[in-house]
Structure 1
Amino acid sequence: MNNPLIMVGSVTYAIKGRDLLRRMGYRANMERTPASLNRVGCGYSITVDDLDAVKAAKILGENGIKVYGISDGDTL
């Protein structure tokens, strides 16, 4: 099973979101969003190894990072 992708609107927000989650102690990474899933933004997403994607998206939103969607990692 792959980690879900938390899709954001720009590479800048992907970097800020990844860094925010890392500062909170989570193993977060960013990667290109597959073209089949990229409906908005620049095509970057955040993955989190040890945190529920919905909880991570909530943390991001509370810190000013707009989340455009969460993709089930198995649909890639």
Structure 2
Amino acid sequence: MEYDLILARSVTYAQRMQRALNRAGIRSQLFRAPRDLTDLGCAYVVRISPYDLGAALPILRREGLGPLRIYVQRGGDIQEMGL
């Protein structure tokens, strides 16, 4: 399965992202960021469908919740995507 992972700097920031996406009808899940993705100790990711990324980014930016980074997860492989 393929997902997009939107990196947030804290659990609170990720929760705000998730609420903004939910209000817009975009389903998301919240997870602790894998250690190899960030050197921030408390970073979290919001996982969404890759089909929703184009709609999600403007919503997050409008809410002042721009992501730190975006990753693509395909099976067990995770690769950084350019912003």
Band of TM-score, shorter chain? 0.7 to 0.9
The answer for unaligned runs of 5 or more in structure 2 is 79-83
Name the structure with the higher strand share. Answer: 2
Which fold has the larger relative contact order, with Cα–Cα distance below 8 Å and residues 6 or more apart in sequence?
1
Corresponding residue pairs, total: 76
RMSD after superposition = 2.0
The answer for unaligned runs of 5 or more in structure 1 is none
Equivalent in the alignment of 1:59: 59
**Of the two, which has the highest radius of gyration?**
2
Counting aligned pairs with the same residue, the percent is 32
Matches within 5 A, 1:1-76: 1-40=1-40, 42-49=42-49, 51-74=51-74, 75-76=77-78
The answer to whether the Cα contact below 8 Å between 2:2 and 2:50 also exists between their aligned partners in 1 is no
TM-score, structure 2 normalization: 0.75
TM-score, structure 1 normalization: 0.81
